[in-house]
Amino acid sequence: MSDKILIRGLEVGAIIGIHDWEKQKKQPLFFDFKLYFDCQKAAQSDDIKDALDYFEVCEKVTEFVANSHFELIEALAESVCQLVFNNFKCHKIKLTVLKPEAIADAESVGISITRKSK
């Protein structure tokens, strides 16, 4: 099944990084998701109960990230994928996390991972 929900550019402030200055203030992170699931039932019923509610995904991810403290963007990305799998019906996630304030001379740095539910 190749149905997917796309969420692009979800901005969340987070305490993340290994340097002391990164641990002092929140910095913006940008999340892009591809959430794979079977949307046939939702398409036929036109009922949000049968869909993957992207509003709820954004709320849960924002709350989690805003209240977390990670040193590595890799650990944050992995934890966000697990959060989504634990709360929503999707079988695969492609997640990109961008950290624009990490390197002064770069637009942003980031990570892109793909995970499948167990």
What are the structural domain ranges in the chain?
4-116
- The string of pLDDT tens digits covering residues 37-74 is 999 999 999 999 999 999 999 999 999 999 999 999 99
Mean per-residue pLDDT, 15-39: 92
Mean per-residue pLDDT, 77-87: 97
Report the alpha-carbon distance of residue 87 to residue 85 in Å, rounded.
6
Whether 118 has a pLDDT exceeding 90, the answer reads no
Query: Has domain 4-116 been given CATH number 3.30.1370.100?
Result: no
Report the alpha-carbon distance of residue 48 to residue 51 in Å, rounded.
5
Confirm whether 25 is a catalytic residue.
no
Report the alpha-carbon distance of residue 97 to residue 95 in Å, rounded.
7
Choice among 26, 34, 94, 99 that is catalytic: 99
Report the alpha-carbon distance of residue 77 to residue 65 in Å, rounded.
10
